[in-house]
Copies of this chain bind each other. A is one copy, B any other.
Amino acid sequence: MEPLDTHISRQYNVDLENIRTLVLQMGGLVEQQIEHAITALVQGNVTLADAVIVTDYKVNSLEVTIDEDCNQIIARRQPAAGDLRLVLMVIKTITDLERIGDEAEKIARMAVQLANEERPKNNYMEIQTLGTHVRHMVHNALDAYARMDTIAAVRVAGDDRQIDKEYEGVMRQMITFMMEDPRTITRALHVMWAARALERIGDHARNICEYVIYQVKGKDVRHISLEQMKKEVGEGS
């Protein structure tokens, strides 16, 4: 990939750099939304949960802005190979970021519901733990994106397996609770929905990692195994 500053038009460089900055800004906002949603749920903080729900429009509006900017760049600059892939990658990345935002909003809605329920003895430790891991995964995916680091991208994509395992654990635990004490069914279901939202956020973070690999290597690594993905990225690259 040619470095950004080799373009003849200075304005073109500025345009590409602006989009990159906006994507990272959107990523930062989405990370914050996840963090606040988890805190709201764990602490039973309805005010914070409401703030997450209200703030989702900012995520959506960034998506629309960046999408429009990308269309303009393609139409006006007619970017070639590397640059075109970069812009197309941004279009896909913001779709995933927007959906991560939606999932954070769903967690916040569960937080509002759970605030009305009796708190469990473990203070929603399982959501706290899974949530922290998922948030780190999103952070690391955005970091790999910012540095176009394929090695990091493969590593982060691999973290999704661990997230899936933890998620399965939460599900099994909740089913046990429900069966042991049917009065906890409503609460357990809300925890399950929140865990599911976190698991999906992990999937979206994995998608972003796959785009990074596609961008740098020009190879589509969606729908292939982690082992194949590592092979595509190569050892020393």
Which residues on A are within 8 Å of B, measured CB to CB? Answer: 57, 60-61, 63-64, 67-68, 71, 74-75, 78, 80-81, 84-85, 88, 91-92, 95, 175, 178-179, 182, 185-186, 189, 196, 220, 222-223
A163 → chain B, closest Cβ, in Å? 17
List the 9 shortest-distance A-B pairs measured between CB atoms, nearest first: A60-B223, A78-B78, A182-B182, A64-B220, A178-B185, A75-B84, A179-B182, A179-B185, A74-B84
For chain A, what secondary structure do more than half of its interface residues adopt (helix, strand, loop), or is it mixed?
helix
Copies in the complex: 2
Kindly report which residue of chain B lies nearest to residue A96, judged by CB atoms.
Answer: B95
Chain B residues closer than 8 Å to A68, beta-carbon distance: 220
Which of B71, B81, B223 is close to A85, meaning CB atoms less than 8 Å apart?
B71
CA distance A67 to B219 in the complex (A): 12
- In the complex, the answer to whether B57 meets A223 with C-beta atoms within 8 Å is yes
CA distance A222 to B61 in the complex (A): 10
A105 → chain B, closest Cβ, in Å? 12
CA distance A67 to B214 in the complex (A): 12
